[in-house]
Each structure stands twice: as structure tokens, then as C-alpha cells.
Amino acid sequence: MFSWLPWLRLAPRPERGQHSLSCVRRSSSEENMQFDVNGVSYLAVGSYLWLSNHLSRLDDGHVYRSEFLVGLILINTKSTRQDITPEAQNYLRNLGNKWQSVGEIVTPTEVLISGPYLYMDKVLRKVYRLQSDIQRAFMAATRPDLSETSFRTVNAGGDPYQCLSIAVPHRVTSPDLPFSAPRVAVKDCYFLKGLKNSLCNSAYYDAMPPAPFTATVVDSLIKDGALVLGLTKLSTLIGREEPTESVDFQTSFNPRGDGYQSPAGSSSGSAVAVAAYDWIDCAIGTDTSGSGRRPALVNGVWQFRPSHNPRYLDGLVKTYDRFDTPCAFARNLSILKHVAQSWLNTRVPNQFRTRQYSIIYPLDYLPVDNQQQMTLIDEFVSDMEKALSAETLRVSIRDIWKIRHPPEACESLDEYLEDVVTGTFYHAYYHAFGEFRQRYGEQHDQQPPYVIPFVRRRWAKGAAVSESQHLDATSRMEVYRQWLLDNIFYANGKETLIILPIANVAPNYRDEASPSPDNQSAFDQLFLSPILGAPDISIPIGEVSYHSKITEREEFLPVLVNVVGAPGTDLSLLEAVEKVMKFSKRPLSVRTGKRMF
């Protein structure tokens, strides 16, 4: 059954020179449901083939239904006039059309966006289908309206207990948009003007004010026509949190495998939403030290992390501005390309040019323990070699450092990087929440806010770092960063791509303790792209089987590979990956549900 949620707002009108073909369904209460087809003036209005094609594009299986064709309205502007041809009349009657009406708009001022409408009391009102968030991916549902200057929540429960209803609009299609505008979910650490952020922590939601503006990376997508459906869950205070560690809010449910695998963090809700719901096209998360890549792996979706840019942090609750960056999750590569182009503010297709490539296969991180996973990774590397005519260099970064380390550094890379994460990231993480702790104390008689034990331990480590220790760790990290660029990325004059595993693929049940690490090495593969400020993309390449203790049968876990490019090579990285996928005839999309393919 469909649930319809009308909004009491007059819909905008078509621009001058446009026609709008509108269809109305009369309900039993004599209310009318209407949908509009934009851009008729650019095509043959009466063409059967055009109608068939356009109606098939409208029917995305979520909001539009053929019942909206019971009545039909053709809206003309003063400058142009066309009626429906007999051929199209017959076609519409076969689809159930009962009546038609022709109207005229003389001085329209706004574009009427395609989609179902409720027509009542001579007013058009938008129609949404309510979808239940059965995977508990969302913190809040929003009213997805392009014209709103600030956001409002939709306070409706879903059919299953303890879940929200998400108001899903009809997908916007318009010749004026560079892309079929995506439906987007946003991690609950980005500002949406007028809404409060929670960071999945009750004390934070209590203490902090509503967002004064909408985050830059979200706003750029909205300007391209994207519709924001809501805020998604995350690991509390943008840290790391497994399901058994969650206290204030239940962790989202990973739809892959047996349904009881950890969704990882911190961008768990965003990745779950994309993996579970075909009515969402993409979700925005963050990645500081794997917060996007780990959820992409275990939830089996594409993920793109751009080159670092301070502009991307405007309107983001930050933890460490040198590592923090947005990331995008999607089920297909084309959506990631659209997001990247929006963030980079370019609409010119980046044509693939002939380049010389070098592939780095780091023996420090490969192979992993799972042999099925390694087979899939090695097959992908082989496809990269063929598609890009590239040479693969199997090298150890540690060994190269030992031979060509900077003169001020010791021979052991692990020793040189010791405590760098604590002195930089943990230090910044503690101080990033100073305002929150102060606000909460002032509002609650100096009582400290509740945070989970992991956050308390990380804060304690960060607070213990002196300023001199912080400066020393930052200096060593910068030396390492420049050394990587000089000796790995720019050493041979070719465009270098590094192949990385995100983690060893193995069952991680949500009812089993999986302690988050208290100490992390800056040499961990998850810190490579943050330290470099480089783009990377996580690519679904296959699945591995396991025997589930939940279902007591064979299930499958996703396998992704992470490809890192040099800073500033975002679009060329995406182009290279697309070329590899097409050359090797690999799927460019994953599906929702238990399995990716």
C-alpha cells in the first residue's frame, strides 16, 4: 500500500515557453492527486512515443502510479499552444485516462517540478510516499523540498516499531538539470539549517543550538536539484562505536549477509541507507580515519573520498580539520561522479586522456588473511594492469623508507611514526568538543556530559598531549606526507594509484564485543589518504562466503578494494576506475539487500 503525505503549499508554476502535461487522480473524498511532466515545449506534446518514454521514466516504482492518469490537464503558456493528438488520446485512454482539461498560464514566475501532486481547493500540494526505515539508519526525517530556506522534520513513525517514516518525493527529472536529481541522506554531523545535530549523543543534542546554515557540500547538491530525505545515524560523537558499545541510540542494521553484521562506523547510517533502500540514491558521510571506507566495505556500497579542501568543512562538526573530509556513498559509479562534479563545481565532462599509470601494490598491507578476498583483489589488480596498460610495482613502503628516509628521521618508519596519531588526531579530537563540554556544564550545574567509554578514553589521551608534543607529532606527520609524495606518487613521472585493502573481511556479529582500538598507528592503511589529503574510491569487486551462526547456512560478505590517487586527481581517479570496470566488464552497480550482486 502507498501512504501519501500532502504538504500545504502552493506549487510553483511553469516558466514562460514551457508546457506542462498534468495528470489527475480523483480520490473517493473528491480530492485530486496530480503529477506534472515538465519540458513539453521542448518535445512533441502529442507523440505517442514521447509519452510512452516519458511516463516510463516517471514510473520509478516509489511514488508515481498509473492511477494518476485518470484525469489529464495540458497547461500551455500564452506564447505557445498545442493540444494532444488523436494518437496520444487513444494511448492515454488505454492507460485508464477518463478526462482531460486544457489550461493556460499567462505570466508564470517559477518552474513546476515534475512529480505527483495533491490538488485540493484549487491548490497543488506535493505528494510523498512514506517509507519505513526498517534498518534504523536515520536519526531524523526531513521534508525534502527544494524551495525551503530551512529544514523541518517529518514526525511520523514507520510500520515496524521503533523506526521512522521517511517522506520520499518523486524523483526530479528536468532538461534543466545536469543529472536526474538524486535523493540524498546526510550524516548527522552536517548542518541542515534550522535542525539540531545530535552526533548520536543525547547530551550533544541537548546542549547545542540548531544549525544556522546548511553545510557547503550538502548545499551544492541541493543547488543541483538533490532532495535531502533526512539525517542518518553515526558512531557517537563521530568516533568509533560497535553495536555492543552503543548507549543513547541503537546502531543501524547492516542489510548484507545474515543481517546481524556490524555496520561499522562512524558513517554507519549513511552506508546502511544506501545498501538497504532503493529509494535513496546516495548518502553523504565523513571519513577522518576510515569512517567512510569501513562502512562502505561491510555494507557493500561504492564510496568516494575527495581530495581535502577546507571549503568542504564549512558546516561540518569537525574532529580534526587536517583529516576530516566528506565522503559519498552510492550503489553505482555514475552517482559518485555526479557528486564529485558538484563538489568540484564543474559541469564539463572530464574526457579520458591517455596517461601512463603506475600501480603500487604495497606489501606492507597485502596480502590479508582471507584468501578468497585476496583472490578477488589480485584479479582486480590484473584488470587494472590490462585496462590502463600499467605496470604494477610490488614494494614495501617500510623498506623504501629504510633506504631513502629523510636525514632527520630514523630508519624504522614505525618508530618514527610512533604516537603521531595520538599527538595530532586525538589531541585535536579532545579540543574539538571543548565548546560542547562547556555548554553542557553551564546548562547542567557543571555536570559533565555522558559519553561512551571509548570517547572518554580518547579524550583522556588527547588531553594529556602537551603543546610541544602536538607540534612534534604534526611535524613528523608532515615530513612523512611529503616523503610519500616524493618517493611514491611522484617518483617516476607516471600517474600513481595505490591499491589498499580496507580491512580483512571476516564476520563481525553485532551481538559480539568488538573492542575499538585505543592506540592507532599512523602507518595503518586507513591513515594513508588522510595524511596525504588525497582522494580515494572504494570499489565493490565481489563477495566471500561464510557460515552464519545466525541463519546456520552459507551467507556472503562484501569485498571492496580501495584505490588512492595523488592529491588533486579526483576526476581522473574516477575516470581510471570507470575505464577499468568497463574494460573488464565488471558491474558498475550493486543492488540493495543481502547481496551486492
Confidence (pLDDT) at 170: 79
Confidence (pLDDT) at 278: 95
CB 266 within 8 A of CB 172: no
User: What is the total count of domains within the chain?
Assistant: 2
Read off the amino acid at residue 321. D
**Which of the listed residues 328, 344, 360 is the one where a domain comes to its end?**
344
First to last CA, the chain: 28
Strands 20-26 and 71-77: antiparallel
Strand blocks (E) in 334-489 = 357-362, 391-395
Read off the amino acid at residue 283. A
Which range has the worst mean pLDDT, 8-12, 106-110, 207-211, 382-386? Answer: 8-12
Question: Are 156 and 251 part of one and the same domain?
Answer: yes
Structural domain of 69: 20-126
Question: Are 221 and 113 part of one and the same domain?
Answer: no
pLDDT-derived band at 578 (thresholds 50, 70, 90) equals very high
The string of DSSP codes covering 348-370 is S--------EEEEEETTT-S-S-
pLDDT-derived band at 20 (thresholds 50, 70, 90) equals very low
**Which of the listed residues 126, 141, 167 is the one where a domain comes to its end?**
126
The three cell numbers locating residue 483: 616523503
307 assigned to some structural domain: yes
The three cell numbers locating residue 98: 477518463
Better-predicted residue by pLDDT, 147 or 594: 594
Cα–Cα distance, 283 to 178 (Å, whole number): 19
Q: What is the mean pLDDT of residues 466-494?
A: 97
pLDDT-derived band at 94 (thresholds 50, 70, 90) equals confident
pLDDT digits 0-9 by tens, 518-569: 889 999 999 999 999 999 999 999 999 999 999 999 999 999 999 999 999 9
Question: Are 160 and 109 part of one and the same domain?
Answer: no
355 assigned to some structural domain: no
Instruction: State the CATH number of the domain containing residue 305.
Output: 3.90.1300.10
CB 526 within 8 A of CB 502: yes
216 assigned to some structural domain: yes
pLDDT-derived band at 115 (thresholds 50, 70, 90) equals low
The three cell numbers locating residue 377: 583483489
Question: Are 57 and 198 part of one and the same domain?
Answer: no
Question: Are 156 and 238 part of one and the same domain?
Answer: yes
pLDDT digits 0-9 by tens, 166-203: 999 877 655 444 456 789 999 999 999 999 999 999 99
Cβ atoms within 10 Å, residue 379: 15
Q: What is the mean pLDDT of residues 471-480?
A: 98
Question: Are 223 and 297 part of one and the same domain?
Answer: yes
Confidence (pLDDT) at 106: 47
Cβ atoms within 10 Å, residue 541: 21
Query: 410, 419, 402: which is closest to 364 by C-alpha?
Result: 402
Q: In what order do the strands lie in the sheet with 183-187?
A: 138-141, 227-232, 183-187, 282-286, 326-330, 302-305, 536-547, 554-564, 495-501, 357-362, 391-395
Q: What is the mean pLDDT of residues 130-136?
A: 96
Contacts of 511 (CB under 8 A, 6+ apart): 243, 244, 260
Confidence (pLDDT) at 40: 27
317 assigned to some structural domain: yes
Q: Where are the alpha helices (DSSP H) in 209-283?
A: 216-223, 268-276
Better-predicted residue by pLDDT, 10 or 574: 574
7 assigned to some structural domain: no
327 assigned to some structural domain: yes
pLDDT digits 0-9 by tens, 286-304: 999 999 999 999 999 999 9
CB 513 within 8 A of CB 533: no
pLDDT digits 0-9 by tens, 335-362: 999 999 999 987 655 555 678 999 999 9
**pTM for the model:** 0.89
Question: Are 31 and 53 part of one and the same domain?
Answer: yes
Q: Where are the alpha helices (DSSP H) in 38-175?
A: 48-58, 86-94
Alpha carbon 173 to chain centroid, angstroms:
20
Question: Are 27 and 161 part of one and the same domain?
Answer: no
Q: Which residue has the cell 502507498?
A: 2
Confidence (pLDDT) at 33: 36
What DSSP character marks residue 171? P
5 assigned to some structural domain: no
Question: Are 332 and 235 part of one and the same domain?
Answer: yes
Handedness of CA 40, 46, 50, 51 (dihedral sign): positive
Contacts of 366 (CB under 8 A, 6+ apart): 374, 377, 499, 500, 501
Question: Are 163 and 305 part of one and the same domain?
Answer: yes
281 assigned to some structural domain: yes
Cross-strand bridge partners of residue 544: 557
pLDDT-derived band at 75 (thresholds 50, 70, 90) equals low
Q: What is the mean pLDDT of residues 367-375?
A: 97
Question: Are 199 and 96 part of one and the same domain?
Answer: no
Read off the amino acid at residue 420. V
Confidence (pLDDT) at 56: 72
Question: Are 133 and 120 part of one and the same domain?
Answer: no
**Which of the listed residues 110, 126, 142 is the one where a domain comes to its end?**
126
